Amino acid sequence: MRILIADDEEISRRLLENTLTKAGYDVTSVGNGLEAAELLCNGDSPRLALLDWQMPELDGPTVCRMDAKRKINPAFILSG
Partner 1 sequence: LAPHVPYFRCWDRRISRSAAEIWPNVSGLGAHKVSTATTSVLNIEDLLRRVDDDHELLAELFFIFKTVFPTHLQHLREAVAHKASRQIETESHTLKGMLLNLSASRAAAAAYELEQMGRNQQLENLNLAFTGFQAEVEALLTQMDGYVVEPQP
How many CB atoms sit inside 10 A of residue 8's CB? 15
Interacting positions 49-68 with partner 1 (CB under 8 A): 52, 54
Applying CB under 8 A, which of residues 15, 65, 72, 75 lies at the interface with partner 1? 15
Whole-Å CA distances, 5 to 22, 75: 15, 12
Residue 11 within binding range of partner 1, rule CB under 8 A: yes
Q: Does 36 bind partner 1 (CB under 8 A)?
A: no
Q: Is 18 in the site for partner 1 (CB under 8 A)?
A: yes
Contact with partner 1 (CB under 8 A): which of 4, 6, 7, 55? Answer: 7
* Closest separation in Å from C-beta 11 to partner 1: 5
At residue 70, the 3 state secondary structure works out as coil
